């Protein structure tokens, strides 16, 4: 799964993209303030074949 995430803290404007399992993505926290992240969009993506990594997070463009 691929998700677009935003921080739930209204004072933080961080946005991220994450690829991984839905369960792992739902447990992510903001790298800027530590607050919980909220998925605002989901898309199917090709399954990654990276053993040992459940989720890959990067800043949204």
Between 50 and 16, the higher pLDDT residue: 16
- Supply the DSSP string of 34-55, one letter for each residue: -PBEEEEEEE--PPP--TT-SE
The pLDDT tens digits for 10-49 are: 999 999 999 999 899 999 999 999 999 999 999 986 655 4
In this prediction, residues 48-56 reach a mean pLDDT of 63
pLDDT of residue 42: 92
Global confidence as pTM? 0.76
pLDDT of residue 11: 96
Q: Which is nearest to 33 in space by CA: 18, 13, 16, 17?
A: 13
Between 35 and 57, the higher pLDDT residue: 35
Domain ranges for the chain, please list them. Answer: 2-44
Asked if 37 and 60 touch (Cβ cutoff 8 Å), the reply is: no
């Amino acid at each position: 799964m691929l998700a677009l995430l935003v921080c739930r803290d209204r004072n933080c404007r961080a946005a991220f993209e994450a690829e991984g399992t839905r369960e792992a993505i739902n447990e992510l926290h903001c790298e800027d303030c530590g607050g919980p992240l909220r998925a605002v969009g989901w898309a199917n993506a090709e399954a990654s074949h990276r053993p040992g990594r459940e989720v890959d997070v990067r800043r949204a463009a």
